[in-house]
Amino acid sequence: MENRRENHPENSPAILELTEGMVMLEVRVKNLEALRSESKQSSAPQSMRKSQNDKALGSIKEEFKQAKLTQERRSDAMETCLQRLEKEIDSVKSKIEVFEKKRKNTESIVDLLQKSELKDKILGEMNDRLDSMDKRFDSIDERLDSMDEMIIKGFDSMNKRFTSLENGLADIGKKIDNYLVGLNLP
């Protein structure tokens, strides 16, 4: 039971990284809004500066909304997949329990089975079932690894975009400051 809590989708490294990424994006948006409010208080020609800042901030907000929506969809899809995988794991566990009960029951009749040709057939079927379960577990592990890689790549891409947008805003701010210095306003 305790192991199940540790493996719960909410405790998955991918979910934790997703949550951390969303928090970082929200902080960036708040910082950009703070920059915008500071630029409104400047003595520069406000209409031009406000227009540029509003456009840049609007574009960043829209991209943030889209990124957040995409991440929420990915998170929902991943959680659904994890729930399905948990059900499959529970199903396999219950089959293993049934198998263990049957194995215990068959131990009492091993002597009879040794004399019959059914022994080889039953053992072969059991081995086939165990092989099948091993393949399912391998498949589940591969799917989880694939989802983790996809989430990490998505965050890397979003971070690069936001860094590029921040650099662009910084360049715009420098150009505006240089323009204002060139005006020599009292």
pLDDT tens string 57-102:
777 778 778 877 778 887 787 788 888 888 888 888 888 888 888 7
> Model confidence at 26, in pLDDT bands (50, 70, 90)?
confident
- State residue 1's pLDDT score: 43
**What residues contact residue 151 under an 8 Å CB cut-off, 6+ apart?**
14, 17, 18, 74, 78
Our CA angle for 117, 121, 125, nearest 5°, is 165
Does pLDDT of 140 surpass 70? yes
Give yes or no for residue 46 having a pLDDT over 80. no
Confidence of residue 5 (pLDDT cuts 50, 70, 90): very low
Q: What per-residue confidence (pLDDT) applies to 144?
A: 82
The answer, yes or no, to whether residue 25 has pLDDT greater than 70, is yes
Task: Give kind and range of the element (H or E) at residue 3.
Answer: helix 2-6
Average pLDDT (98-123) is 70
Q: Taking the complete model, does pTM exceed 0.75, yes or no? A: no
Q: At residue 115, does pLDDT exceed 70?
A: no
Query: Which of 15-24, 79-88, 156-165, 171-180 is predicted least confidently?
Result: 15-24
Domain locations in the chain? 2-183
Query: What pLDDT does residue 39 have?
Result: 65
The mean pLDDT value of the chain amounts to 77
Higher pLDDT, 39 or 98: 98
Closest CA to 122 of 105, 134, 97, 137: 105
Q: Is 184 left (phi over 0), alpha (psi -120 to 50) or beta?
A: left
Taking only the tens place, the pLDDT of each residue in 141-166 is 888 888 888 888 888 888 888 898 88
Q: What integer pLDDT is reported at residue 11 of this predicted model?
A: 62
**Residue among 142, 3, 131, 130 at smallest CA distance from 85:** 142
